[in-house]
Structure 1
Amino acid sequence: MTDIAVAEQTTKLIGPGRLVLVVGPSGAGKDTLINAARTLCADDPAIVFARRVVTREASAAEDNLQVTPDDFSRLEAAGDFALHWRAHGHAYGLPRGLDDDIRAGRTVVANVSRMVIDPARSAYANVVVVLITAPAEVLAARIAARARASDGSITDRVGRSVAAHPDVTISNVGDPIAHARDLLEIIRHGRPQP
């Protein structure tokens, strides 16, 4: 069961900045493209990459803050997350500080579960959902290559289907730098540029 929540529902949507939610199946290369986009725009103070708080060990490709389940529960109870969810036996959260960045007009980029899209759209004025995907055989090969114990069954991970209703889809097959540039255009402009 997946548990999701927006920490604070208000009648006024949080803005004027943009929240770019990067979603997609395991093995799609979300972290690869996010990390490459981060490098490409490292000198742009208007773009912030949210660091997730997670109750599992981060891999080399992820920029997560690892916490114990008890610590996560304490942070959650204290209202320290802007968005949080539970999936795959772990808890994930985005620090509340991202709200300040969005209020200041910055663009915040976050790797999230597809399950938080609707709650995020209910809380933020400008949300862009980017679905990163790849063919099933590519997903399976990538999941197998990273050999992360918490991934569980590759067949289950590849076979899972959750509606994302993205604004933009990037098929991450081929040159990841080219796809990272596509992602960066979406981050900067809210949509791909011609």
Structure 2
Amino acid sequence: MSAIWYECKIKYRKTDDNGVQKMTTEPYLVDAMSYTEAEQRITEEMSAYISDEFKITNIKVANYAEIHPFENSDRWFKSKVSLIAYDEESGKERKSNMYLLVQANDVKEAFDNTNQAMQNTMGDYTIPAIAESPIMDVFPYFSGEEAEMDKVERFIEVKNDKPIEEPIASATSEDESENLQEVLTEAENVTLYK
């Protein structure tokens, strides 16, 4: 994944296990092209989870080279990976560091998942540090293809239920005819990629 990740801190009133409400600030990661888009995306994402008011207290570019989610894991860990390169002129070993955000349940699993994420790396590397990250959730960017697929599926449903041309011409009401025509027009404008 090559993307720009923004760490967004959200302040809101959270109810704890005892039923007591208190103000809390939590960091989230969002994939965006700019600070403005990051603010818009995190507002949309958090509106689905938080019913009360919330405030974005900080947005900054995160220093993660890659994000690696893994199934059946609920916490995020920051793995420091040192890539080792040999300088032939000086004969010395050079290290360059990068940070991965890896999903795991504990530090040992984070180490294993980091090795799995790095398995296709051609050069040598070491993992000098792994620490649990305060990141609560990660919101990658999705294109609108899912929404377009819904339109295509709706088109196929309509097409399979009735012949395409007959329902428009013989619809019992103008509303049904217009609705079907809208679905057909939207479906024609959708481009499918394989």
State the TM-score, normalizing by the size of structure 1.
0.21
Higher relative contact order (CA 8 A, sep 6+): 1
Which protein has the bigger strand share? 2
State the TM-score, normalizing by the size of structure 2.
0.21
Q: Which has the larger radius of gyration?
A: 2
